[in-house]
Structure 1
């Protein structure tokens, strides 16, 4: 009679085959079954825990790096996006949009594939906004009301040619929008923020009924602060609750104020807390996310580092829709940060009166926040 064998004696090769077919989130439980099963679980870093700061050493000419404020590590991918001279414009999930002279590109951050979008008629867009589903907006904002073009996906999932707004109405109001804050889709409309807190709105559905430009709203007329000039950086974003909000940042990192738009009164109102959420800002993408990591709650992270963190060379691996960084060298061990002491990235705790050390930080150029936990 053959000797009975239990599950713990399954061959290693078979266990690896089973493990490769399981989502990343199940691997810790798999390894906890017994020592033999744990021996086949390889180190990995979940890419979905928090948004990541995607950066490159130069525009479109180097390997991509993902900095994690949770792990305080930089994960470098061996693939290079072949897009010399391109700049990051927009990031939605694993989709990265770049502008390269008169060409718009879309890159898949997991596969590394780069696709050319419909050609632009004029110079590259200053901003690109993508809803992640069917509409992509290109916005010119150098002078005057923002001029907008839109490309919509057809039944085959391909973007149609850019549909440009009409020529400028000579009676349109001229203002200069902020150079560092991306327009935001909110309630189906495209909003652009101006330095004094004013908003311009573009309604794609009504583009054939007016001059095709954004309408600068009469209200709000300002942020409501007497010394608004002390805020040098202002970023517009939509919260995870669907509210239109903005973050205002001083020259040396403080003060930091959060405001949200009261849409019935069309006035900015200050928010004294993020409600346990975390805000990732300072790039053309600003993201607000819920987190279970206690020390990250009610904190704002900026693309500024005290020192360059440990770099781990990795592959991005997709299993059942979960993305993880898998070290390419066997010597790298998984380490979970015990606390936030010694963090490399500069951040600010909302509601805290404590000064923050800003002077020793260096901005991460060519960077943009990405959230690989979304589609």
Structure 2
């Protein structure tokens, strides 16, 4: 039988007793790992590995040293920081729920960056699901802000924030792990059919820009822009200086510019500072012709180690093509191995992260998983040129995207 997903009724209202039990087990394991790297004393390790409260010692000149049992919340800050740096995002939620002290001090230190998870919803009932393709575990969170009479659609994610449309005209950005919501002005109805939409930085940042693009042919594009603090969207129309067919994947904000991948493999660039749109002459298009087969091809643009990658995926019977933009010569270079990088691709959000272990490197994960008791994330190995598990018979949620969990609004 598959294990039941962890259910969190809300981020702040978690079951405290369960949190303490879970944290006790997790911290004991982490303590052992820290001792292996000589970051923790033998006495502390011995106490914690048996699930006991840490013994805080006091002494004076005349009295023999004695131990006093204290709760977990009395752990010294430097030890708490060591633990927090090794917790998964789920355990961080447990961590913050243990006591007020731990919840308040967690803002004062940097925790590790979490691997992407697949976020998906089953409707507008407030239930939000997360699937971790690395360990195959699933979780669900009840989020009041995602309960709506209007249909909700996930559009884009960045820095733990998710852009969501509600009905035909409304948009808001939410951090599902803190439940902080930023409402955006309503869109103009005639400009809603974007082929791509993204934002530059967390919506709490004063320099946040939300950028939507669309177009029905290769001769023009329309763009809608919202800046932090604006009361309305700015709608813009541009003639293309070169043929450019906007594809259904989201733009990438890279070095101050929004880059858009066309169906030919060429790039369009929007500069939000001077409000200019340009179809670049270089790199040259990867495809000279876009036939019906090419129109059905999935294509993705992703930032990886400060560079841009384009990925083209026709069908499961053909190898995936990956290209890296050589900015010195402004040309696409074919990539055969991603090294230590792992890609998480979908048309809404594509991410590149350092693989947690060597064997996870040079993989491309897709928003699909095996539909059996031992759920596994579907990935393509650049080294073997094969899908694992087999591509057929897998499940893809209708409304999903990749997200890097963040329990802080300003990351």
Q: The TM-score by the shorter chain falls in which range?
A: 0.7 to 0.9
Asked if residue 184 in structure 1 is aligned to residue 255 in structure 2, the reply is: no
Report SS of the residue matched to 1:295.
helix
Cα distance 1:187–1:2, how it changes in 2: closer, same or farther (>3 A)? closer
Cα distance 1:19–1:131, how it changes in 2: closer, same or farther (>3 A)? farther
Report SS of the residue matched to 1:114.
strand
**Match for residue 37 of structure 2?**
none
The correspondence for 1:364, drawn from 385, 390, 397, is: 397
Asked if residue 265 in structure 1 is aligned to residue 265 in structure 2, the reply is: no
Question: Does the 8 Å contact 2:379/2:387 carry over to 1?
Answer: no
Question: Does the 8 Å contact 1:104/1:124 carry over to 2?
Answer: no
Once the two structures are TM-superposed, the CA of residue 206 in structure 1 deviates from its matched residue by 2.4
**Match for residue 15 of structure 1?**
72
Alignment of 1:104-115 (within 5 A): 104-115=171-182
Alignment of 1:97-136 (within 5 A): 97-100=163-166, 101-122=168-189, 123-124=191-192, 126=194, 127-132=196-201, 133=205, 134-136=207-209
**Match for residue 313 of structure 1?**
none
**Match for residue 87 of structure 1?**
153
Question: Does the 8 Å contact 1:196/1:221 carry over to 2?
Answer: no
Superposed CA offset, 1:54-92 (max 9, x none) = 11113x434111111122111111224134312111111
Cα distance 1:138–1:23, how it changes in 2: closer, same or farther (>3 A)? farther
Cα distance 1:108–1:19, how it changes in 2: closer, same or farther (>3 A)? farther
**Match for residue 232 of structure 2?**
161
Tell which deviates more after alignment, 117-126 or 291-300: 117-126
Name the TM-score, length of structure 2 as normaliser. Answer: 0.66
Once the two structures are TM-superposed, the CA of residue 238 in structure 1 deviates from its matched residue by 1.2
Superposed CA offset, 1:19-65 (max 9, x none) = 899757516999xxxxxxxxxx99xxx9944111111113x434111
For the residues of structure 2 that align with 1:138 and 1:198, how far apart are their CA atoms? 19
Report SS of the residue matched to 1:205.
coil
For the residues of structure 2 that align with 1:27 and 1:172, how far apart are their CA atoms? 51
Name the TM-score, length of structure 1 as normaliser. Answer: 0.72
Root mean square deviation of aligned Cα? 3.4
**Match for residue 26 of structure 1?**
83
**Match for residue 248 of structure 1?**
312
Alignment of 1:1-375 (within 5 A): 4-6=65-67, 9-11=68-70, 14-18=71-75, 23=80, 26=83, 48-58=113-123, 60-80=124-144, 81-83=146-148, 84-100=150-166, 101-122=168-189, 123-124=191-192, 126=194, 127-132=196-201, 133=205, 134-144=207-217, 145-153=220-228, 158-165=229-236, 167-169=237-239, 175-179=244-248, 181-207=249-275, 214-223=277-286, 229=293, 232-239=297-304, 241-252=305-316, 254-307=318-371, 344-354=376-386, 356=388, 357-372=390-405, 375=411
For the residues of structure 2 that align with 1:3 and 1:175, how far apart are their CA atoms? 81
For the residues of structure 1 that align with 2:278 and 2:114, how far apart are their CA atoms? 38
Instruction: Give the structure, 1 or 2, with the largest relative contact order (CA under 8 Å, sep 6 or more).
Output: 1
Once the two structures are TM-superposed, the CA of residue 236 in structure 1 deviates from its matched residue by 0.7
Question: Does the 8 Å contact 1:283/1:303 carry over to 2?
Answer: no
For the residues of structure 1 that align with 2:112 and 2:343, how far apart are their CA atoms? 17
Cα distance 1:351–1:226, how it changes in 2: closer, same or farther (>3 A)? farther
Report SS of the residue matched to 1:71.
coil
Unaligned stretches of 5+ residues in structure 1: 31-40, 310-341
Superposed CA offset, 1:249-281 (max 9, x none) = 121264112101122332211111112111100
Question: Does the 8 Å contact 2:157/2:163 carry over to 1?
Answer: yes
Unaligned stretches of 5+ residues in structure 2: 1-61, 88-97, 100-110
